[in-house]
Structure 1
Amino acid sequence: MPPSAVARGRGLLAALLAFVLTAIGVAAATPAAAATTGTVTGASISWGVRASFVNYVTGPIAHGSIETDGVDESGGVFHWSGGSGVVDVDAGTASAGATGSVRFSGHDGQLDLTVADLRVEIDADGAFLVADMTSKELGAQEAEFTPGVALAALDTAAITVGADEVSASGASTTLTAEGAAAFAGFYGAGESLDPVTFTLPYTLDQPTEEPTEEPTEDPTEDPTEEPTEEPTEDPTDPAEPTEPSEPTDPVDPSDEDLALEVSDGTLSWGIKESFLSYIQGPIADGSVRTTGGVTRDGSVFSWTGGTGVADDEAQTALVSYPGEIRFTGHGGLLDLTISDVRLRLDGPGEGTIVATLASKALGSGEFETYVGVDLAALTFDPDALTLDPVTAQLSAGATGGLRLDDAASELTTDGAEAFAGFYEAGSALDPVSATGSLAAASEPTEVPEPTVPSVPTVPSEPTEPTGPAAGGGPGGDQAPGDDPVGGGRTAGQDEVEEQVCVANAVSGASLTWGLKSSFRSYISGGIANGGWDVSGPISDVSGGWHWSGGSGSINTETLTGTVSFGGSLHFTGHDGVLDMTVSNLVLRVTGPTSATLHADVTSNDMEGNTDSYPGIAFASLTFPAASASGGSVDVSGASATLTTAGAEGFAGFYEVGTALDTLSFELPVGGAVECSAASGTLAETGVDPAAVIAVAGAMLLLGSVLLVGRREARR
């Protein structure tokens, strides 16, 4: 947890405790009456440790068991109860827990781990789950006992304080470095563990000293010093006051017309990363186009030039941003434009992303427009929002700042409909951040009402065009190059494509990756008793494997492209129960700072059943901005994160979002090649009619199912 987050959490806890004491009348003026410590009784903690670990221990690979002593278990969650401890309001600390233990064993005794006497510790370093740990390292003969291990860090924002208890419900937990060592290296520091719920009931201690009923000393009857009878100095004659000059055009601070105007607003939002990956993936084979001031960095879109109004007392604002984003794919069957985006802050901790959408309906293929729809609901800790007018309410023209950090966003019911039914209402979207300047103004600029967008022109059947239409595009009023993917083309559009096409061949590419070091150690260790073998252009290197001979193409301006690597990795262990093959890697570069690693994966589940996952997006990659300078695109130390599909292909060994080993690649850039959707350039000049018919049929069928589902839901 970052130090700033720890400090905020600790400060919040101390402030809440102090507030509670004041509210119940304990914080009196005299120190003797101000009890700042309390005793915790009846403490309870509920925690599942880590669901995937529990499943692994009791599965057919570990063939293990779980024993509890003084701890109840239900639904995979362990419950410690009847605990005790203390709280200290002044220090903002708490320490309470309960006795009892949970022991995990498996692999005929090779796996042996006990978590005992779990407690919650809140101190200057943050909030933690602390336990006495007994664990056996891989290959060790004896288990080691380590008392007082800070096993997991807690999300301090989830901790609440009442008049008589400190509690948290479903607080996220993260494995610490100390905990990872005590966990016998099964998981790395920073990995997510199960959420925790706890209640620490407390009563404030009574003051140790009672105030005396009477003052301890009688006051003196007379002042100790006599005042002088005469002043020691004669006062000087005061100068006659001068009439003050009238202020020039004063602005009354209480003037109700004085408001805050927002300018230079920025908004950062990725909408939904999985949707962006889908659009650019091999299934949709589409593209993303930004215009009007919207820019893109990896998987995040940025709007600039926002203007609007704000109210710092009510914590509300409305900011409008120019520009639009257009997503196309499936040969033009998928076409969605998001424009006229607005950030509306509705009060402490709440907000909304409002936008205008033009989307092609599933089934009919006709465009539908949704003007000024509430697209995403925002929630955030009030501390994540800053509306600081500084002196803005003292005089017109004074400036302050607006800032919103990583607000959670969720698709609304209206937003789901406007999104052409791709996602259901309530689906989590990417976090939202915003900045802006605040200035006091007597007459702030009004935010214009949303306007109805022009519907993208849909080309007719992809027959050979007879000539350029008036205006250079289909229908006569569309700019060249604005046709959806796979649509009809004109001579003007062909000229534009020839000018933009910058795809280059890639050959002799190489990639180095270790997948996950802890997995390699586990496979080759004394528990799994396994190993791996490689085939094709893959070689073992220190810390992983090296792929060579990759080929493909890349757009050297947008740095988007696809490079394929042959060969396979085959892992085995536990006498064949563990069996996984990763083959045919495909590196899809999606921008200067991001990429996705696809692969064919075949693996056995915990019951030994074999499943195949062809061409799945296995890992998401991020890295510092790269370029095609020097005749090669080189990236070293790219961060890799396991995707949802990757976690499933990994047979559930690791959860979604797990950090994998870093990855490096070198993509030598050769001569120019024909532009294609595969390299992230303009759409190809034609579309296979059979492919269009097949995709259209699938989309129509999907549309019918969705429409029937909606009608049934409305009934």
Structure 2
Amino acid sequence: MPARSRRRTTALAAAVATATALGATALGTLGASTASAAGVPLSGYELTWGIKQSYRTYVATYAAGTFTPGGGASQAAGNGPFTFVDGRGGYDSTTHAVSLAFEGGLHIESTAHGFEITLSDVRFDSGAAEITADVTKGGTTTQDVPLADVTVTRAMTDMATTLTEEAAGVFGSASYAGAAGDPLSVVQKRSPSPTPSATESETGSPSPSVTPSPSATETKPEPPSPSTTASPSATPSTSVSTSPSTEAPAEGDIVGGTLTWGVKQSFRTYVVDGVAQGGITVSGGVAGHRQRRVHLRRRHRHL
């Protein structure tokens, strides 16, 4: 299957997974790869990826070369993977795609084997299900080179990657095309600011990072986003109350009661603890409850 066609197929599955990760219960239209006017801004993310372990070993040993991170990027000890920082972008609530661009670059050089490569402007796009970067090689810079296809998961950690044909050209080995790359993790490192909680409101806890096949039913949002993100307005609690009438009601009439409804647990979690980082505020006598029943009181006329 041609590489571009394969990416389009992967992108569809990735958008579904990302929608689940962010607590969405309706997938909507899939396929777009960047945040739109319906997007929620994201920031404070880090991307960790080692390209391919055997490639790092080749550069550091056989080629007697070096990896030099810069601009805030770093490499783990022991010739480990690379981390790019300050990821910023957005979540598109229409297409359910996350698009992030990261700070930092990576210079790869071997005098013995005669190559010099610089990666910069590293990007992750869950809608396109790929990692891209600007590549400078032989004095020429090519922008947005697709380096790997990504199997996007619910937690967006330890995601499987497959190196592209373009990556094979960049790193100088035809055998890399279609080969498994190192796992990819995209996580938020900056803790979001606390948000006001509704009186007696019920809030869910973020789910742990897991990688099973996602389910759109009652999933907890993952990952969270900063409190500066825009949020859809939501006041899911509803209360219905009637005051006692001055006239005796007909037998069996409802003269007072309360209605308790949580809309949907995953929606409340999305608003309070998820990507929206919002709050649920009750008013006019409305209060949060843990019960899921409607209590009605009947007053019967005494004969």
TM-score by length of 1: 0.23
Can you list the C-alpha shifts for 1:13-65, whole angstroms capped at 9, x where unaligned? 2355463799xxxxxxxxxxxx9421111010111111111111111x31211
Query: What is the aligned residue count?
Result: 179
Partner of 1:80: 84
Q: Secondary structure at the match of 1:171?
A: coil
1:10 to 9, 15, 21: 15
> Are residues 1:95 and 2:99 paired?
yes
Q: 1:92 to 1:174 in 2, by over 3 A?
A: same
**Cα RMSD over matched residues?**
2.8
Q: Is the 8 A contact 1:80 1:99 kept in 2?
A: yes
Report how far residue 198 of structure 1 moved: 1.0
Report how far residue 122 of structure 1 moved: 2.1
Partner of 2:52: 50
- Distance, in Å, in 1 between the alignment partners of 2:113 and 2:139 is 10
Partner of 1:412: none
Can you list the C-alpha shifts for 1:609-644, whole angstroms capped at 9, x where unaligned? xxxxxxxxxxxxxxxxxxxxxxxxxxxxxxxxxxxx
> Are residues 1:114 and 2:137 paired?
no
Q: Secondary structure at the match of 1:14?
A: helix
For residues 649-688 of structure 1, what are the structure 2 equivalents within 5 Å?
none
2:143 to 125, 143, 147: 147
Partner of 2:194: none
> Are residues 1:194 and 2:219 paired?
no
TM-score by length of 2: 0.52
Q: Secondary structure at the match of 2:51?
A: coil
Give, as a single letter, the amino acid of the residue that structure 1 aligns with 2:45: A
For residues 160-559 of structure 1, what are the structure 2 equivalents within 5 Å?
160=154, 167-185=155-173, 187-200=175-188, 201-203=224-226, 204-206=229-231
Can you list the C-alpha shifts for 1:574-609, whole angstroms capped at 9, x where unaligned? xxxxxxxxxxxxxxxxxxxxxxxxxxxxxxxxxxxx
Report how far residue 8 of structure 1 moved: 2.8
Query: Could you say which structure has the larger radius of gyration?
Result: 1
Q: Is the 8 A contact 2:15 2:95 kept in 1?
A: no
Can you list the C-alpha shifts for 1:268-313, whole angstroms capped at 9, x where unaligned? xxxxxxxxxxxxxxxxxxxxxxxxxxxxxxxxxxxxxxxxxxxxxx
User: Which structure carries more strand by proportion?
Assistant: 1
- Distance, in Å, in 2 between the alignment partners of 1:18 and 1:56 is 41
- Distance, in Å, in 2 between the alignment partners of 1:202 and 1:37 is 13
Give, as a single letter, the amino acid of the residue that structure 2 aligns with 1:202: S
Partner of 1:39: 41
- Distance, in Å, in 2 between the alignment partners of 1:108 and 1:190 is 27
For residues 125-136 of structure 1, what are the structure 2 equivalents within 5 Å?
126-135=128-137
Can you list the C-alpha shifts for 1:522-558, whole angstroms capped at 9, x where unaligned? xxxxxxxxxxxxxxxxxxxxxxxxxxxxxxxxxxxxx
Q: 1:48 to 1:87 in 2, by over 3 A?
A: same
Q: Secondary structure at the match of 1:19?
A: coil
Q: Secondary structure at the match of 1:10?
A: helix
Q: 1:117 to 1:2 in 2, by over 3 A?
A: closer
- Distance, in Å, in 2 between the alignment partners of 1:198 and 1:120 is 8
Q: 1:4 to 1:97 in 2, by over 3 A?
A: closer
Q: Is the 8 A contact 2:47 2:185 kept in 1?
A: yes
Q: Secondary structure at the match of 1:178?
A: helix
Partner of 2:276: none
Q: Is the 8 A contact 1:66 1:103 kept in 2?
A: yes
- Distance, in Å, in 1 between the alignment partners of 2:225 and 2:63 is 42
Gaps of 5+ in 1: 23-34, 136-141, 161-166, 209-715
Report how far residue 199 of structure 1 moved: 1.3
Report how far residue 207 of structure 1 moved: 6.0
Q: 1:83 to 1:16 in 2, by over 3 A?
A: closer
Q: 1:143 to 1:133 in 2, by over 3 A?
A: same
Q: 1:205 to 1:46 in 2, by over 3 A?
A: same
Report how far residue 74 of structure 1 moved: 1.3
Report how far residue 83 of structure 1 moved: 1.8
Report how far residue 10 of structure 1 moved: 2.0
Q: Is the 8 A contact 2:165 2:178 kept in 1?
A: yes
| TM superposition outliers: structure 1 runs of 4+ over 4 Å | 1-5
Q: 1:16 to 1:66 in 2, by over 3 A?
A: closer
Report how far residue 185 of structure 1 moved: 4.1
With CA pairs under 8 Å and 6+ residues apart, which has the higher RCO, 1 or 2?
A: 2
Q: Secondary structure at the match of 2:95?
A: coil
Q: Is the 8 A contact 2:50 2:183 kept in 1?
A: yes
Q: Secondary structure at the match of 2:94?
A: coil
For residues 607-646 of structure 1, what are the structure 2 equivalents within 5 Å?
none
Q: Is the 8 A contact 1:38 1:202 kept in 2?
A: no
Partner of 1:384: none
Report how far residue 130 of structure 1 moved: 1.2
Report how far residue 73 of structure 1 moved: 1.4
- Distance, in Å, in 2 between the alignment partners of 1:13 and 1:42 is 18
Q: Secondary structure at the match of 2:129?
A: strand
Partner of 2:67: 66
- Distance, in Å, in 2 between the alignment partners of 1:182 and 1:121 is 20
Q: Secondary structure at the match of 1:67?
A: strand
Can you list the C-alpha shifts for 1:65-109, whole angstroms capped at 9, x where unaligned? 121112121131111122211110211212113111111111446
Q: Is the 8 A contact 1:43 1:97 kept in 2?
A: no
Q: Is the 8 A contact 1:45 1:97 kept in 2?
A: no
The percent of aligned pairs where both chains have the same amino acid is 24
Report how far residue 132 of structure 1 moved: 1.1
- Distance, in Å, in 1 between the alignment partners of 2:187 and 2:47 is 7
- Distance, in Å, in 2 between the alignment partners of 1:206 and 1:19 is 13
Q: Is the 8 A contact 1:134 1:182 kept in 2?
A: no
Give, as a single letter, the amino acid of the residue that structure 1 aligns with 2:170: A
